[in-house]
Chain A
Amino acid sequence: MHPIRRRRFILILISLASVACAVALVLSALGENLNHFYPPQEILQGKAPEGRTIRVGGMVVKGSLKRVPSSLQLTFIITDFKADVLVKYAGILPDLFREGQGVVVVGKLLPDHVVMAEQVLAKHDEKYMPPEAAEALRRAKKI
C-alpha cells in the first residue's frame, strides 16, 4: 500500500474511533434525559422523582379498571409482576387500552406511589396476530 494512502487510512480509522467514543458518551448522557419509562418496581424503590413529569410503564392488571360514575375519572393498577402502582386519570383512553395489556402513563408521582396521569399511551409488542388466531388461542387457554 502506498505510504500516504496507508497513513490516510489509519488516520481515518483513528479519527472515526475517537469521534465514535465521544458521540457515544454524549448520547449516553443524553439517554438519561430521554423519555424512557420507569417500571413500577423502580417507583416503589423511590428511583423516580416526585412532583416532576415522569413515565411509568407496565401491564394493566385485569379487573383493576374502575370508573367514577358519570365522569371521565378512572383508576387502574399497572404492574411489572414485581410491584404494583395505582394510576388516577381523567380523560379518554386510547383504543388499544385493555386490561392485561401494556401501557405507558405520563404523569406526576404523588406520595404513596400513586401516579396522577396526564396522558395514557397504549404500548404493544411486536407479536402481531390475526383475530382468528387470537380467538383460537383464547379458547385453547379456557379449556
Chain B
Amino acid sequence: MFNSLFKYLSRRFHQWGSPKYFYEYASRWLPWLAFFSTMILMFGLVWGLAFAPPDYQQGDSFRIIYIHVPAASLGMSIYVFMAIASVVSWVWKIKLADMLAKSCAPLGAVFTAIALITGAIWGKPTWGTWWEWDARLTSMLILFFLYMGIIALRSAINQREIAAQATGVLALVGLINLPIIKYSVDWWNTLHQSATFKLLEKPAMPPEMWLPLLISLLGFYCLFAWLVLFYTRNEILEREAKSQWLRAQVLK
C-alpha cells in the first residue's frame, strides 16, 4: 500500500513539478491573485480599522490584531509549507519543489518580522513593555532566525543541489520549533495570552470582531499565494533561462 501511494504521489509530483506546466499556470493565476488579495485585504483591514468595535480594555490599540494574528499565522504556515517542499524536492528530486522552498524563505521571514514588530508595538500600550523574554515571543524570534539561517545557508552554497539538501535539513530540524510556538502559551506561564482562533472552539469575541479578522486572514493568505507564485516564477526565469520553451513564452 505504501508503495502504491508513493508511486501515485511520484506521478502527480512529476506532472505538477514540470516548470513549463507551472509557468503557464502561475502566469494565468498571478493577476487574479493580485486582484483578489488586494481587494480582500482592503476590505478586511478597513473593516477592522474603522468599523469593528474597540476592545473594552485596550481601546483602539486592539485593532493591531488585524495584522498581527494573520502575519503570525502565516509566519508559521509558510514554514510548514517550506519544509514539505524541501522533503518533496529531496525525496522525489523535483526542482520546482526546491524553487518553491527557496521562494518561501524570504516571505516567511518578512511575515514573521511583521508579527514580531506589530507584537512589540502592541505590547507597549497593553502590557507596558516592548519586549519580554517570554516563551511565545522567544520561540517566535527563533522562527525568524531559522528563516534567516536558511536564507544565509542557501546563499553560502554555490552548488544548487547541495544547497537544496542543506537548507532542507535545516528546515526539517527547525520544524520542532512550531509546536513549541503553538503550545508555548499553554505549557508555560507566559505574558502572551492564548490563541485567538482555536480549531473546534468558538472564538472568545463577538462576530463583529472576529469576522474582519477572518477576512484579513484570508487576504493575507491570498497575498502570500500571489507572492510565492510570483517569486517561484522568477526562479524559473532564472534557472531555465536557456531553455527553448521559456524563450518562446517570454518573447510571445
Contacts and interface: CB of A to CB of B under 8 A. Distances in A.
Interface of A: 1, 5, 8-9, 12, 15-16, 19-20, 23-24, 27, 31, 34-39, 57, 93-98, 101, 104, 119-135
A34 B132 contact: no
A122 B53 contact: no
Interface string B197-213: 00000011110110000
Contacts of A135: 56
A83 to B, nearest CB: 15
Contacts of A119: 128-129
B58 A124 contact: yes
22 contacts: A31-B135, A35-B132, A35-B134, A39-B189, A95-B126, A96-B125, A96-B126, A98-B57, A119-B128, A119-B129, A120-B128, A121-B127, A122-B128, A124-B126, A125-B204, A126-B205, A127-B204, A128-B204, A130-B56, A131-B53, A133-B53, A134-B57
Contact of B205 (A24, A96, A121, A127): A127
A126 B55 CA distance: 11
Contacts of B57: 96, 98, 101, 124, 134
Nearest to B124: A94
Determine the interface band of chain B, counting residues with CB < 8 A from chain A. Answer: 35 or more
A19 B209 contact: no
B54 interface: yes
Nearest to B139: A27
Given A57-B189, A121-B127, A128-B55, A16 B172 contact: yes
B180 interface: yes
A135 B55 CA distance: 12
Contacts of B196: 126
Interface in B170-190: 172-173, 175-177, 180, 187-190
Interface in B49-81: 53-58, 62, 65
Given A95-B126, A127-B204, A134-B56, 4 more contacts: A1-B3, A20-B175, A96-B125, A121-B132
A132 B126 CA distance: 20
Nearest to A132: B53
5 nearest A-B pairs in the assembled complex, by CB-CB distance: A94-B128, A130-B53, A134-B56, A127-B204, A128-B205
Contacts of B65: 128
A96 B58 CA distance: 7
B29 interface: no
A130 B206 CA distance: 8
Contacts of B193: 123-126
A34 B138 contact: yes
B204 A130 contact: no
Contacts of A133: 53, 56, 206
Contacts of B205: 126-129
A93 B187 CA distance: 28
A27 B179 CA distance: 12
Interface string B96-128: 000000000000000000000000000001111
Given A122-B128, A130-B56, A12 B209 contact: no
Nearest to B213: A128
Given A1-B6, A20-B176, A123-B191, A131 B56 contact: yes
B156 interface: no
Contacts of B194: 125-126
